[in-house]
Amino acid sequence: MDTLAGSTHAKAMQATQQDVAAMAGMTQNTFSKIERAEDVLLSSAVRPMRSIGGGVELVSKTTDGKESRVDLTPEAN
């Protein structure tokens, strides 16, 4: 399981960890730790995703099948 959806998006773009990290303004080591983590802060996922043109959306699902979505990607200033 990808802990960071950006991994799949970055692969589709043929971007390396170092490429994405540089675009996100972080080190490759930091990005790698985020990618491997089992418990990632949402704010840690937003920055690299925005840097590659993506976003982060939280989807909560109830037992009766209802979904609620929240876009966590801040608008660009």
**The token pair that represents 1 in the structure block:** 């399981």
CA atoms in the 13 A half-sphere facing the CB of 59? 5
Q: What CATH number is given to the structural domain containing 27?
A: 1.10.260.40
Q: What is the pLDDT of residues 14-50, one digit of tens each?
A: 788 888 889 889 999 988 888 888 888 888 888 888 8
Read off the pLDDT of residues 53-65 as tens digits, 9 standing for 90 and up. 888 888 999 989 9
Q: How many domains does the chain have?
A: 1
- What domain range is 55 assigned to? 6-71
Residue 43 lies in a domain: yes
Pairing of strands 57-61, 67-71: antiparallel
| pLDDT at position 7 | 59
